């Protein structure tokens, strides 16, 4: 079983490598070969990796830039050597540094020559990492809304629409600051449907249906009172924005399938997007695995967790993996992995969990009550004790979550 667990992690890492930001941006820009100079703005969890890819490909044609990412997700020394300024914002809940990053972003754009072309590199996490608020909205309001959203069970698309309603730069409002420039935007998608208007809450893409979508959501009155009339999201900016999405969840799933085939397994690849409640999703996938033929099973998506008032350690992937472990308890032919492609799951440093038939027994021997951990959203504490956490460190990408199941041939 140890080999099977190691191979699941190996398959996961192979998927991450295929959607890694530095490699993808360098490849795209090297192939474009237009000879233009660019000023760079990179925002998101993969911003550091993507910015280094731009430096690799552009060389002297990269004439400065601003990189905004999550603490610990950038090689500040390498970025500085490429002439890029580095800022850290708050994540998953924005903080004062997110507002500072927003101010610096506007100052940077205002200080550029009008003829300078812009290269935007946008990945998931941008919604929290950089912000400029509407008048009347304060940091404490922004943080309260984001904490509510993270525990609400809403989809990422719905959450980002609420964030747009508080923002003076999202939902396409940043276009006002671009002064008619030519903009190339390269994105790594962390949203279902890979819609550029949703990635990073649409810094460069107006959302013409924002008002209707916000009205359709059942939001608390105190959040509705903070949202500005979104009727102005259609900017009249003459900026010319060309957008290309370089990596998606589909790419990661297919890379996982390729690695599993290379290891000699039969592969069963699902293209369905998983967005159900994480505990139910984990149990359902585990039951599906038990009732299936031997091989590697691959799923992807972004399940949701409704957090209790004082949640414990861990995120949705650890929660999902623990729920799966309750179904496969005692089995010697099955293991299961669920992990975030950005290398983090919730507020901690772990990517997710890889569980097997012995996980629950190991946890109980360590003094943990499984039902209590699930109820308290404290799956991370249990999986740490059972030795079932997955830790990759920052991955340089963010294409949502992967779930991998392996059923061995009993013969």
Domain boundary among 213, 247, 281: 247
Domain ranges, residue 323: 2-14+250-407
Same domain, 321 and 202: no
Considering the chain, what percentage of its residues have pLDDT values greater than 70?
97
Going along 333-382, which residue ranges are E strands?
A: 334-340, 352-356
Same domain, 360 and 225: no
Residue 306: the pLDDT is: 84
User: How would you classify residue 361: left for phi > 0, otherwise alpha for psi between -120 and 50, otherwise beta?
Assistant: alpha
Same domain, 225 and 291: no
**What integer is the mean pLDDT of 110-126?**
93
Q: Which positions ≥6 away from 366 have C-beta within 8 Å?
A: 382, 385, 386
Residue 230: the pLDDT is: 58
How do strand 267-274 and strand 295-301 relate by DSSP bridges? parallel
Say whether pLDDT at 27 is over 50: yes
Under 8 Å between Cβ of 43 and 68: yes
| Tens-digit pLDDT profile for residues 317-360 | 999 999 999 999 999 999 999 999 999 997 778 999 999 999 99
Under 8 Å between Cβ of 411 and 333: no
Gap between the Cα atoms of 296 and 336, Å rounded: 10
Same domain, 234 and 218: yes
Of 406, 366, 356, 357, residue with least CA distance to 386: 366
Place of tokens 């409002």: 173
Same domain, 150 and 192: yes
- The 3-class secondary structure across 274-343, one letter per residue, is ECCEHHHHHHHHHHHHHCCCCEEEEEEECCECCCCCCCCCCCHHHHHHHHHHHHHCCCCCEEEEEEECCC
Under 8 Å between Cβ of 405 and 327: no
Of 238, 92, 105, 72, residue with least CA distance to 160: 92
| Tens-digit pLDDT profile for residues 195-244 | 998 899 899 998 887 888 888 888 999 998 888 665 554 445 566 899 99
Same domain, 45 and 140: yes
pTM (two decimals):
0.92
Same domain, 389 and 308: yes
User: Lowest-pLDDT range, 92-101, 235-244, 360-369?
Assistant: 235-244
Domain boundary among 247, 273, 290: 247
* Ordered DSSP codes for 206-239: --TTHHHHHHHS---HHHHTTPPPGGG-S-----
Domain boundary among 228, 247, 266: 247
Of 100, 121, 103, 152, residue with least CA distance to 45: 121
CATH number, domain of 164, equals 3.40.50.10180
User: How would you classify residue 352: left for phi > 0, otherwise alpha for psi between -120 and 50, otherwise beta?
Assistant: left
The dihedral of CA 250, 251, 256, 257: what is its sign?
positive
Residue 347: the pLDDT is: 76
Gap between the Cα atoms of 212 and 231, Å rounded: 10
Residue 334: the pLDDT is: 97
| Tens-digit pLDDT profile for residues 161-201 | 888 888 999 989 999 888 888 999 999 999 999 999 889 98
Say how many domains are in the chain. Answer: 2
Give the confidence band of 97 by pLDDT, cuts at 50, 70, 90.
very high
Residue 411: the pLDDT is: 60
Same domain, 220 and 277: no
- Reduced DSSP (H G I as helix, E B as strand, rest coil) percent helix, strand, coil of the chain, to 5: 45, 20, 35
Residue 252: the pLDDT is: 98
Residue 235: the pLDDT is: 47
Same domain, 296 and 211: no
> How many Cα atoms are found within 13 Å in the side-chain-facing hemisphere of 32?
18
Same domain, 96 and 242: yes
Same domain, 79 and 194: yes
């Amino acid at each position: 079983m140890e080999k099977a667990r190691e191979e699941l992690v190996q398959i996961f890492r192979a998927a991450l490598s295929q959607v890694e930001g530095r490699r993808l941006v360098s490849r795209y820009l090297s192939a474009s070969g237009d000879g233009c100079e660019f000023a760079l703005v990179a925002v998101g969890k993969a911003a550091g990796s993507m910015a280094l890819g731009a430096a690799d490909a552009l060389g002297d044609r990269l004439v400065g830039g601003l990189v905004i990412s999550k603490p610990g997700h950038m090689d500040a020394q390498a970025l500085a050597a490429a002439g890029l300024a580095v800022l850290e914002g708050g994540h998953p809940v924005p903080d004062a540094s997110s507002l500072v990053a927003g101010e610096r972003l506007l100052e940077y754009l205002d200080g550029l020559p009008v003829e300078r072309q812009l290269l935007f590199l946008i990945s998931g996490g941008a919604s929290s990492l950089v912000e400029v608020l509407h008048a009347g909205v304060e940091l404490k309001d922004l943080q309260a809304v984001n904490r509510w959203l993270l525990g609400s069970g809403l989809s990422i698309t719905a959450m980002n629409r609420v964030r747009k309603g508080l923002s003076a730069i999202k939902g396409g409002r940043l276009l006002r600051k671009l002064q008619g420039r030519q903009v190339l935007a390269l994105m790594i998608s962390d949203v279902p449907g890979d819609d550029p208007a949703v990635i990073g809450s649409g810094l460069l893409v107006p959302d013409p249906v924002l008002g209707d979508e916000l009205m359709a959501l059942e939001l608390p009155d105190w959040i509705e009172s903070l949202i500005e009339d979104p009727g102005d999201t259609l900017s009249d900016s003459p900026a010319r924005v060309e957008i290309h999405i370089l990596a998606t969840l589909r790419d990661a799933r297919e890379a996982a399938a390729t690695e599993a085939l290379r290891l000699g397994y039969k592969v069963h690849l699902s293209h369905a997007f998983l967005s159900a409640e994480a505990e139910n999703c984990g149990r359902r996938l585990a039951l599906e695995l038990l009732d299936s033929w031997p091989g590697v099973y691959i799923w992807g998506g972004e399940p949701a967790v409704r957090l209790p008032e004082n949640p414990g350690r861990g995120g949705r992937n650890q929660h999902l993996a623990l729920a799966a472990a309750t179904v496969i308890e005692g089995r010697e032919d099955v293991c299961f992995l669920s992990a975030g492609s950005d290398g983090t799951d919730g507020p901690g440093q772990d990517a997710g969990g890889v569980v097997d038939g012995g996980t629950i027994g190991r946890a109980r021997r360590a003094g943990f009550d499984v039902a209590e951990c699930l109820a308290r959203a404290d799956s991370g504490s249990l999986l740490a004790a059972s030795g079932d956490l997955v830790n990759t460190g920052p991955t340089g990408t963010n294409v949502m979550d992967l779930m991998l199941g392996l059923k061995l041939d009993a013969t």
